[in-house]
Amino acid sequence: MPADPLENLRQSYDVVVIGAGLGGLTAANTLARAGHSVLLLEQLHKLGGLATWFRRPGGHVFDVSLHGFPVGMIKSCRRYWSREIADSIVQLKNIRFDNPMFSLTTSVDRDDFTKLLIEKFQIPAETVNEFFDTARGMNFYDDQATTTRQLFERYFPGREDVVRLLMEPITYANGSTLEDPALTYGIVFSNFMSKGVFTFQGGTDRLISLVKKELAANGVDVRALADVEKIHVDRGRVTGVTVNGREVRTRAIVSNANLKSTILNLVGRGHFDRDFADQAEAVRLNNSSAQVYMAMKPGAMIDESCGDLLFSSTAPTFRTDMLLSRDITSRTYSFYYPKTRPQQPQPRCVIVSSTNANYADWAELPEPEYRRSKENLAETTLDAIEKYVPDIRDKLDYIECATPRTFQRYTKHLDGASFGTKFEGLAVSRALPEQIAGLYHAGSVGIIMSGWLGAVNYGVIVANDVDAYLMKGER
Ligand SMILES: Cc1cc2nc3c(=O)[nH]c(=O)nc-3n(C[C@H](O)[C@H](O)[C@H](O)COP(=O)(O)OP(=O)(O)OC[C@H]3O[C@@H](n4cnc5c(N)ncnc54)[C@H](O)[C@@H]3O)c2cc1C
C-alpha cells in the first residue's frame, strides 16, 4: 500500500469518478475506452463497493452480494468489460422455497414458473401467460401509479401463496415492496424470468481482479483510500473535487456515491434550485441488510441438494414489512460449494444468510447491546439452518455477522442502504446535469437501476451522457 494514495496524481482529468462500485467502475472503464482521461477515486482500500468479499483466518473467503443476478449480466460484461468476465458467469440451477405455504425447487425462469403456477398452484394457463406478458411488456414510460399489489390482485386475487412465490425473490433481489410501482417489479421480474438466476464463478475477488486488469489496460488512473470530501462548482458547472485534502480539476464528475449524499453533502444544497434540493431530500432510501457468514471446516461438505439459493421462512403468510423486522422469520441462504471457487487449494463450503433490515433497528444500540444482538443473530441463524444442514455447529469453523451499520461503515451509504434509493431517486439522479453542468450520478437508484446488472447498465448509460457532454465541449 503506498504511503500516499494520491502519489503522482495529475492536476486535472477529463472525468473524475467518485466511488468504485459496479456503476462507478463501469462508467470509468467505458469513458476511458472512449478516449477520455479518467480518475477513479474510492474511499475504501479495495474496489467493488457492495460487490465485495472478505477473507478470514483459516483460508475462508466470503462474498457479500454475490447471490444471484439476471442473465443480462453476460451481455453487459461482454460488451463493457471482457469476454473472460462474461464467460465466467454461470447459472444457479437449484433455487428452493421453503415456507408454511409451499416447499419447492425451481430454476426461476418462465417455463418452470409457468409449469409450477399451472400444475402446483392450479392457476389457469391463460392467466399465467397474460401475467407474464404484462410483466414483460412494462417499461419505464408506462403507468407508474399501479402498485405491485394491485397487479397481483388483478391476476391472482386472494392468492397469497402465489404472491409469495412471485414476490419473495424480487423483494430479496432489490428490497422492493408490494406498494412500489408495478413496473419496477415487472422489469426486474422479467429480467430473471428470461433465463433464471446467475452467478460469477471464482467469486467476487476474481471478478474484481479481472476488472482491475481491464481498467489498467484502458488507462484509468485508479486510487483507493481516496476519500472525496467536496465537489466544486463554479457558475453552474463542476470544476473539480477535493480528495484527501487535495484539489483535482475536472470537466465532468460521475458520482457513484449515494445519490442523497452526493447532492446534500458533497455538493451542498445551495448549488441547486430550491425545488430540486427539496425533491432530493424527499427521496426515500431503500432498506438495508443483515447477513450471517458461516464457513464450514475444511473437508466438511454440504450436500448440494440444499440448493444454491434457499428462500426460507417460518412466517405463515408473506408480508414485506415482516421481511425487515429484527424478529426474523425469513432468511435467504446462499450456499457456496467448492465449485464456486474452483481455484481454492482445498474444497470449501460457505453459507451466507441474508435478511433485509431497517437501519433504525440497529443504529442507536449501545455497544454492548449491539454486540449481544449480533451474537443473537448468529445463534438464531444457526438454529434456523439446522433444518437444512443438520449438526451445523459441529461442521462450523467460522461465523460472523454484518448489520446495517456495517454496510454504512464500508460504503458510506446513508442508513446502510443496500439498493440505494427508492424509485423516485432515478428522476433526481437523471436530472443532475440539468442543475449543474458536468455533474452526473451512476449508482443504485430506483429498483431498476440497482443490483449488479442495474448498476453496470446505469454506469454505461451515464458514461454515454458524459461522453456526449465532453465531446460537445470540444467542438
Ligand atoms: C447484503 C447485500 C446483498 C446483495 N445481493 C445482491 C445480489 O445477490 N444480486 C445483485 O444483483 N445485487 C445484490 N445486492 C445489491 C448490489 O450489490 C448493489 O446494488 C450494487 O453492487 C451497487 O453498485 P453501485 O454502483 O450502486 O455502487 P456501491 O456498491 O454502492 O458502491 C459505491 C462506492 O462508492 C464509494 N464511495 C462512497 N462515498 C465516497 C466518497 N466520498 N469518496 C470515494 N468513494 C466513495 C463507496 O466506498 C463504494 O465503493 C446486494 C446488496 C447487499 C447490501
pLDDT in tens, 104-149: 999 999 999 999 999 999 999 999 999 999 999 987 677 778 999 9
Both 255 and 359 in one domain: the answer is no
Q: From ligand 1's centre to the CA of 21, what distance in Å?
A: 5
Is 301 part of a structural domain of the chain? Answer: yes
For 142, 174, 189, 352, the CA distances from 148, given in Å and listed in that order, are: 13, 14, 11, 28
Q: From ligand 1's centre to the CA of 23, what distance in Å?
A: 8
72 CB within 6 A, ligand 1: no
The per-residue DSSP string of 418-441 comes to SS-B-TTHHHHHHHHHHHSBTEEE
pLDDT of residue 473: 79
The per-residue DSSP string of 360-375 comes to HHHHT--HHHHHHHHH
Q: From ligand 1's centre to the CA of 81, what distance in Å?
A: 18
- Which of 411, 433, 458 is the C-terminal boundary of a domain? 411
Model confidence band, residue 9 (pLDDT cutoffs 50, 70, 90): very high
Tens of pLDDT, residue by residue over 51-93, are 999 999 999 999 999 999 999 999 999 999 999 999 999 999 9
Prediction pTM value: 0.96
Q: Tell me, what amino acid is at 59?
A: G
Pocket test of ligand 1: the residue of 18, 65, 69, 334 to mutate, having most ligand atoms within 8 Å of its CB, is 65
Per DSSP, the three-state class of 200 is strand
Domain of residue 62 covers 53-69+287-411
Q: From ligand 1's centre to the CA of 248, what distance in Å?
A: 25
Q: From ligand 1's centre to the CA of 51, what distance in Å?
A: 6
When divided into structural domains, the chain yields a total of: 3
Query: Is residue 226 a contact partner of residue 241, using CB atoms and an 8 Å limit?
Result: no
Both 126 and 23 in one domain: the answer is no
150 compared with 172, residue with greater pLDDT: 150
Is 62 part of a structural domain of the chain? Answer: yes
CA distance 98 to 105: 9
- At residue 3, does pLDDT exceed 60? yes
Tens of pLDDT, residue by residue over 247-304, are 999 999 999 999 999 999 999 999 999 999 999 999 999 999 999 999 999 889 999 9
pLDDT of residue 474: 62
Tens of pLDDT, residue by residue over 433-446, are 999 999 999 999 87
Query: Can you read off the three cell numbers belonging to residue 269?
Result: 444544497
Is 139 part of a structural domain of the chain? Answer: yes
Both 269 and 323 in one domain: the answer is no
Pocket test of ligand 1: the residue of 6, 50, 448 to mutate, having most ligand atoms within 8 Å of its CB, is 50
Is 186 part of a structural domain of the chain? Answer: yes
92 CB within 6 A, ligand 1: no
Both 397 and 293 in one domain: the answer is yes
Cross-strand partners of 262: none
Query: Quick one: which of 404, 307, 295 has its CA closest to 351?
Result: 295
Ligand 1 atom 38 nearest Cα? 257
Both 160 and 275 in one domain: the answer is no
362 CB within 6 A, ligand 1: no
Is 200 part of a structural domain of the chain? Answer: no
Per DSSP, the three-state class of 205 is helix
Max Cα separation, the chain?
68
451 CB within 6 A, ligand 1: yes
Both 362 and 384 in one domain: the answer is yes
Q: From ligand 1's centre to the CA of 88, what distance in Å?
A: 21
Query: Is residue 52 a contact partner of residue 236, using CB atoms and an 8 Å limit?
Result: no
What's 264's domain CATH number?
Answer: 3.50.50.60
Both 385 and 370 in one domain: the answer is yes
Model confidence band, residue 317 (pLDDT cutoffs 50, 70, 90): confident
- At residue 475, does pLDDT exceed 60? no
CA distance 410 to 20: 12
Both 184 and 242 in one domain: the answer is no
Model confidence band, residue 319 (pLDDT cutoffs 50, 70, 90): confident
Query: Is residue 223 a contact partner of residue 4, using CB atoms and an 8 Å limit?
Result: no
Is 113 part of a structural domain of the chain? Answer: yes
Both 116 and 158 in one domain: the answer is yes
Tens of pLDDT, residue by residue over 375-410, are 999 999 999 999 999 999 999 999 999 999 999 999
257 CB within 6 A, ligand 1: yes
230 CB within 6 A, ligand 1: no
| Nearest ligand 1 atom, CA 23 | 25
Both 256 and 292 in one domain: the answer is no
- Which of 152, 174, 195 is the C-terminal boundary of a domain? 195
Strands 309-313 and 330-336: antiparallel
41 CB within 6 A, ligand 1: yes
Both 187 and 156 in one domain: the answer is yes
pLDDT of residue 448: 78
412 CB within 6 A, ligand 1: yes
Is 378 part of a structural domain of the chain? Answer: yes
Q: Look up cell 417489479; give the residue.
A: 185
pLDDT of residue 323: 63
Q: From ligand 1's centre to the CA of 105, what distance in Å?
A: 29
Ligand 1 atom 6 nearest Cα? 65
| Nearest ligand 1 atom, CA 67 | 8
pLDDT of residue 2: 58
Instruction: Count CB atoms within 10 A of the CB of residue 87.
Output: 12
Q: From ligand 1's centre to the CA of 64, what distance in Å?
A: 10
Give the distance, in angstroms, between the CA of residue 358 and the centroid of all CA atoms in the same chain.
Answer: 16
Q: How many Å from the N-terminal Cα to the C-terminal Cα in the chain?
A: 41
356 CB within 6 A, ligand 1: no
312 CB within 6 A, ligand 1: no
Give me the chain's average pLDDT, please: 94
- At residue 427, does pLDDT exceed 80? yes
| Nearest ligand 1 atom, CA 419 | 19
Ligand 1 atom 53 nearest Cα? 418
291 CB within 6 A, ligand 1: yes
The per-residue DSSP string of 209-275 comes to HHHHHHHHHTT-EEESS--EEEEEEETTEEEEEEETTEEEEEEEEEE-S-HHHIIIIII-GGGS-HH
Is 87 part of a structural domain of the chain? Answer: no
Tens of pLDDT, residue by residue over 185-223, are 998 899 999 999 999 999 999 999 999 999 999 999 999
- At residue 38, does pLDDT exceed 90? yes
Contacts of 130 (CB under 8 A, 6+ apart): 155
Ligand 1 atom 34 nearest Cα? 19
Query: Is residue 257 a contact partner of residue 40, using CB atoms and an 8 Å limit?
Result: no
Both 338 and 379 in one domain: the answer is yes
170 CB within 6 A, ligand 1: no
